[in-house]
Amino acid sequence: MGPEEELPTLIAQKDHLNVLRYVRAHELREPNLVVTHGKILLESKTLGDAERLASLEQICIAACDIGDLDLAESCLDTIVNPSSKNKSSLVVTKESSRYRKLLALCLEAAGNYESAGAVYDILLQDNPSNAYAAKRKYCILAAQRGKEADAMKALDEYLSKHPGDLAAWNEMAEVCLSVSDFKGAAYCYEELVLGCPLDSNIHTKLGEAYCTAGGVENDKLARKHLAQAVQLDPNNLRAWFGLVAAAEGYLEEIERMSKNKREAEDQGVEVAKELIKFGGEKLVGIYKGTKMARIINAVLKESSESL
Amino acid sequence: MSTIQISVSALAETKMALHSAKHGFSNPIHGIIVGKSGSDGVVEIVDAVPVCHEVPTKPIVDMALRLVDAHLQQQGDNELTIIGWYTSNASTSDDETPNFSACRIASSMSDCCQEEGGDNFILVMVTTSGLLAAVSKDSDSSSALCRVFQKDARTKTFSSEVDSSLITQENDTSYIISKAMSKEMPIYDFVDHISNYGSDDWKNMDWIKNGSIKL
Q: Is B100 on the interface with A (CB under 8 A)?
A: yes
Q: Which amino acid would we find at residue A280?
A: G
B198: left (phi over 0), alpha (psi -120 to 50) or beta: left
Q: What is the DSSP letter of A227?
A: H
Cα separation, B106 vs B119, in Å, equals 12
Tell if the CB–CB gap between A302 and B100 is shorter than 8 Å: no
Per-residue pLDDT of chain B (215 residues; tens, 9 = 90+): 457 899 999 999 999 999 999 998 878 999 999 999 888 889 999 999 999 999 999 999 999 999 999 999 998 877 899 999 999 998 877 778 898 899 999 999 988 766 555 578 999 999 888 888 887 765 555 568 889 999 888 888 888 899 888 898 888 888 888 889 888 899 999 999 999 988 888 888 899 999 888 88
Indicate whether this model's pTM tops 0.80: yes
Q: Where are the alpha helices (DSSP H) in chain A?
A: 7-12, 16-25, 31-44, 49-66, 69-80, 97-109, 113-126, 131-143, 148-161, 166-178, 182-195, 200-213, 216-232, 237-255, 259-264, 266-287, 293-305
Q: Which residues of B touch A211 (CB under 8 A)?
A: 57-59
The amino acid at B22: K
Task: Measure the CA angle with vertex B192, ends B186 and B197; round to 5°.
Answer: 115
Mutate to test the interface with A, among B62, B67, B91 (most CBs of A within 10 A): B62
Q: Where are the alpha helices (DSSP H) in A81-199?
A: 97-109, 113-126, 131-143, 148-161, 166-178, 182-195
Q: From the list B195, B206, B208, which residue is nearest A238 (CB)?
A: B195
User: How far is the CA of B9 from the CAs of A261, B46, B48, B191, in angstroms?
Assistant: 51, 5, 10, 24
Task: Tell me the average confidence (pLDDT) per consecutive run of 10 residues in chain A, 307 residues long.
Answer: 70 87 90 91 77 91 93 92 67 87 94 94 92 93 86 93 93 92 95 95 97 93 95 95 93 84 84 91 90 87 77
DSSP A26: T
Q: Which amino acid is at A307?
A: L
ipTM: 0.91
| Cβ neighbours of residue A91 closer than 8 Å, sequence gap 6 or more | none
User: What part of B 70-99 touches A (C-beta under 8 Å)?
Assistant: 70-71, 73-74, 90-91, 93, 99
Contact list in A for residue B107 (CB cut-off 8 A) is none
